Amino acid sequence: MSQKRDWVPWLYLAPALLILGVYLVYPIVGTVYYSFFDKRSEHFVGWANYKWALTSKVMHIAFRNNILWLIFFTVFVVAFGLLLAVLADRVRYESPLKSIIFLPMAISFVGAGVIWKFVYAYRPKGAPQIGLLNAIITALGGEPVGWLVNRSVNNFALIVVGIWVWTGFCMVVLSAAYKGIPRELLEAARVDGANEWQIFRYVTLPLMVPTIAVVTTTMVINVLKVFDIVYVMTNGDFGTEVLANRMYKEMFNFRNYGRASAIAVILLLAIIPVMLINIRRFQEEEALR
Amino acid sequence: MIRRLELSIARVPLHVVLVGMALAWFIPTLGLLISSFRTQDAVLSSGWWTVLRNPFLAGQFTLENYKAVLEAQGMARAFVNSIIITVPATVLPILVAALAAYAFAWMDFPLRRTLFILVVGLLVVPLQMTLIPILRLYNKTRLAGTFPGIWLAHTGYGLPLAVYLLRNFFSEIPRDLFESAFLDGASRWTAFRVIVLPLSVPALASLAIFQFIWVWNDLLVALVYLGGTEKVAPLTVRLSSLVNSLGQNWHLLTAAAFISMALPLVIFFSLQRYFVRGILAGSVKG
């Protein structure tokens, strides 16, 4: 198909390249540039925005919470996903079960936020509890908890919402990998007298490691940018701030484009290793073609 | 017989775990749905689960909440806005991506590989990196707060993934098909229309569902480029501002939330296979 000076491919590429240039490439350069300027992007301030980002109290809370999210969200979605993938395969109601777990993926984070804000609803002791969680706790004789304001639990209350949304995704990907393991392999281990745990530990798990790695990376990318759930449920109050929500606040509430840009660049830096892994994986795949 | 009984007893923990998780995942949504049909007094004075004692008691359910949020709280307008935003923001990126993916898969041009690696790299760029420069651009060109502005933004953000997936899919098409078409004198444009597009319907459908759900459920992009004005705000933006303004009016909030989920749920239940495939394919999006 190739000829010399074939300009036809560029006709097909032009709209995409133009839009990618305007909406992704140019802004990346722009944001890096703005991150070295003051709030209105008028005066060069050197590393001041980054210094603020790395030393201020609000940003420390945001970093801490992003790390909490990173650890607890990622571990639980992957673990639950794996558990469901392996166990659901053994029951007859596998398909409705998976539908129920996957369902939250259809719902917006804003919707999920409302659903869970209602689950966490708090009334003072003695008043009828209309939130499910506090109703259970008071029925068992406990004191109602302000799930979203109590600083020792509120971050975890938000993380639970994230886990509720994303477990279905992990389950479906891991389940596909699990079903790809040849049944004879598992049967052979059973015949050799291995129990179910040993089969999982020494046969299933090693075979699923590549898929688990892909799912984990995807979840890490997701969780670094967590925004909607926090924005809707607490707006980062009571010690629940995260980087993406802070960036939004710097941008719209404080009109500080310098600081907001610095936060965005930090997010990008955190994701660059994943980007490089993706590119390398792509090049390896291409080499096999 | 006893052996069989032993086996089923051994399986009890398995069922407890699975049914327990299913309930934990399902009950929060059920609570929302039930509450959205209860009166304000009922919602505030007793938990929604008390309904389950007498689920068929006449007169305890009402449609007033839905009427109230659709009219007085602007959810009807927001629903229309969501449709106006989502449909072009789904079609446009897939169209633009299909053209580029065809070039990447079946044409020769300088920098082909480099440009495609750029696309792979852009896959995971966080949206946050683009917001400020684009917003500035939009304020200058008066695209801020307009539907075309958000259509183009979603097109830009959806492109890397769409180009990446479609290029991989297109390049699986057997070469013979193209060769015989070109022998018959077909142009590249004809080959695109007659071979590539018809053979890619499943991939295009999965991608369309992913992009549709992504845009429909998006909050950040709409919040930044459209702002909160009721005239243009989609469901997610409207709902998130109701969370602040309605506070403890759970009878209204639950109804509003359910309205925002209705369409994705319909798609989920009617096109589950494509839906799952689309979400899986789109998982690496920035």
Question: Which band of pLDDT confidence, cut at 50, 70 and 90, is reported for residue B1?
Answer: low
Summarised one tens digit per residue, pLDDT across range A137-195 is 999 999 999 999 999 999 999 999 999 999 999 999 999 999 999 999 999 999 999 99
For residues A8, A10, A16 and A21, what is the CA-based torsion angle, rounded to 10 degrees? -170
Spell out which residues of chain B touch residue A265, defining contact as CB-CB under 8 Å: 129
The residue in chain B having the minimum alpha-carbon distance to the alpha carbon of residue A230 is B240
Query: Residue range A230-239: average pLDDT?
Result: 96
Contact B242, B256 (CB under 8 A): yes
> Whole-angstrom Cα distance, residue B39 to residue B183?
71
Sign of the C-alpha dihedral computed for residues A24, A30, A33 and A37 taken in this order:
negative
Contact A238, A154 (CB under 8 A): yes
**A273, exposed or middle or buried, with CB in 10 Å at 0-12, 13-18, 19+?**
exposed
Spell out which residues of chain B touch residue A104, defining contact as CB-CB under 8 Å: 25, 29
pLDDT computed for residue A4 by the predictor:
57
pLDDT computed for residue B284 by the predictor:
54
pLDDT above 90 (res B57) = no
Min Cα distance B151 → chain A (Å) is: 12
Min Cα distance A147 → chain B (Å) is: 15
Summarised one tens digit per residue, pLDDT across range B172-214 is 999 999 999 999 999 999 999 999 999 999 899 989 998 999 9
Query: Residue range A123-142: average pLDDT?
Result: 94
φ and ψ of A37, to 5 deg: -120, 170
Inter-chain CB proximity B286 and A103 less than 8 Å: no
pLDDT above 90 (res A282) = no
How far, CA to CA in Å, does A280 sit from each of A219, A274, B3? 19, 10, 53
pLDDT computed for residue A53 by the predictor:
97
Sign of the C-alpha dihedral computed for residues B18, B21, B25 and B26 taken in this order:
positive
- Of all residues in chain B, what percent carry a pLDDT higher than 90? 83
The residue in chain A having the minimum alpha-carbon distance to the alpha carbon of residue B273 is A99
Spell out which residues of chain A touch residue B123, defining contact as CB-CB under 8 Å: 275, 278
Query: Residue range A208-230: average pLDDT?
Result: 93
Residue with tokens 């923001």: B89
- Of all residues in chain A, what percent carry a pLDDT higher than 70? 98
Which residues make Cβ contacts (< 8 Å) with residue B138, sequence separation at least 6? B144, B149, B225
| Mean residue pLDDT across chain B | 92
Inter-chain CB proximity A221 and B47 less than 8 Å: no
Query: Residue range B120-139: average pLDDT?
Result: 95
Query: Residue range A263-273: average pLDDT?
Result: 96
How far, CA to CA in Å, does A200 sit from each of A76, A191, A216, B130, B185? 18, 15, 19, 44, 57
pLDDT computed for residue B59 by the predictor:
79
- Of all residues in chain B, what percent carry a pLDDT higher than 70? 97
Summarised one tens digit per residue, pLDDT across range B33-42 is 999 999 999 9
Number of CB atoms found within 10 A of residue A20's CB: 23
Quote the DSSP letter at residue A89: T
Residues composing chain B = 286
Task: Identify which has the larger pLDDT, B242 or A4.
Answer: B242
pLDDT above 90 (res A123) = yes
Min Cα distance B14 → chain A (Å) is: 7
Spell out which residues of chain A touch residue B255, defining contact as CB-CB under 8 Å: none
What H or E segment, with its residue span, contains residue B251? helix B250-270
pLDDT computed for residue A99 by the predictor:
94
Spell out which residues of chain B touch residue A23, defining contact as CB-CB under 8 Å: 130, 134, 152-153, 155-157, 159
Spell out which residues of chain A touch residue B248, defining contact as CB-CB under 8 Å: 121
Least CB–CB distance from B133: residue in A31, A119, A283:
A31
Query: Residue range A61-71: average pLDDT?
Result: 97
pLDDT computed for residue A126 by the predictor:
87
- Lowest-confidence pick of B1-10, B68-77, B79-88, B217-226: B1-10
Question: Which band of pLDDT confidence, cut at 50, 70 and 90, is reported for residue A272?
Answer: very high
Please count the helices (runs of H) and the strands (runs of E) in chain A: 15, 0
CB pairs under 8 A between A and B: 289
| Mean residue pLDDT across chain A | 94
pLDDT above 60 (res B13) = yes
pLDDT computed for residue B277 by the predictor:
78
- Lowest-confidence pick of A32-36, A149-153, B52-56, B69-73: B52-56
Quote the DSSP letter at residue B48: G
- Straight-line distance from the first to the last Cα atom of chain A, in angstroms, rounded to the nearest whole number: 19
Question: Which band of pLDDT confidence, cut at 50, 70 and 90, is reported for residue A2?
Answer: very low
Contact A210, A174 (CB under 8 A): no
Inter-chain CB proximity A114 and B253 less than 8 Å: yes
- Of all residues in chain A, what percent carry a pLDDT higher than 90? 90
Query: Residue range B111-128: average pLDDT?
Result: 94
pTM: 0.94
